Amino acid sequence: MLIDLHAHTSGISKCCQIAAPNMLRVARENGMDGVVLCNHYQKSYVTDGDFDAFARRYVAEYEYTRAEGEAIGVRVLFGIEVTTDWIPEGKDCSVHLLIYGVDTDFVLQHPRMFEYTQEELYRTVHEAGGILVQAHPWRRKDRLIDTRYLDGIEISCHPLYEGTYLAPLAEIAAREGLILTCGGDFHNDTHRPTCGVYLPNGVENTRMLAAYLAGADTVTLAVQEVDERCPHTVIFQRGVGIVTDGCKGEQ
């Protein structure tokens, strides 16, 4: 099954222009069997200073989206996209980190996780059974951060970016022993790319997703370049790199 590992809904992500029901319908219409809901988790969203209340709203949006997905046969897994409240050394802005494999209680227990350093967040996520992936590291310029505290690198198919940077990011991931993931980062401000990771049908929740990604020797991705009509089927082998890259055909 094809799962987009990076999706948003307007119920939490303020920059997103689509609510959960329509987001899921569009994903299904464009060939996805499911999504990982990774709404933005960032300090600027907490305008009243009540971090615990924001954490509860964050979880509630996921529960709502999951129920909507069940109603139409689209699988929805839990994820988090943390906007760091710090700027990495040598960079000019904060970065986005994707968390997979933690339960919704993780948000309630760590409502200020955006203040954690990369190492603190990495270790906290691992203690909870999850993995940490850097989202769209090259979407505008080189913002790849310390790979010692990452489990993976995302290939982003968002059409507004210059490209997916598949080849150079796959080379880095192979060299560092990281896994590649793939997602559309869909906000409904562009057309909907067909992209994601092909997962076994038995991957039913975020813990199973993280376990699969952490243990996989190879992953199969659907990668749609910004200037192409069809996604490419890409097989990435950990420690080796891209071993297969071919087009599925026009959509």
pLDDT of residue 212: 98
pLDDT tens-digit series, residues 2-59: 999 999 999 999 999 999 999 999 999 999 999 999 999 999 999 999 999 999 999 9
pLDDT of residue 94: 82
Q: Which amino acid is at 75?
A: R
pLDDT of residue 249: 39
* CA-closest candidate to residue 22, choices 10, 37, 6, 5: 10
pLDDT tens-digit series, residues 226-238: 888 889 999 999 9
pLDDT of residue 161: 80
Q: Which amino acid is at 73?
A: G
- Domains of the chain and any CATH numbers: 2-247 (3.20.20.140)
- What is the rounded CA–CA span in Å between residue 208 and residue 195? 20
pTM given for the model: 0.95
- What is the rounded CA–CA span in Å between residue 138 and residue 136? 6
pLDDT tens-digit series, residues 178-214: 999 999 999 888 788 999 999 999 999 999 999 999 9
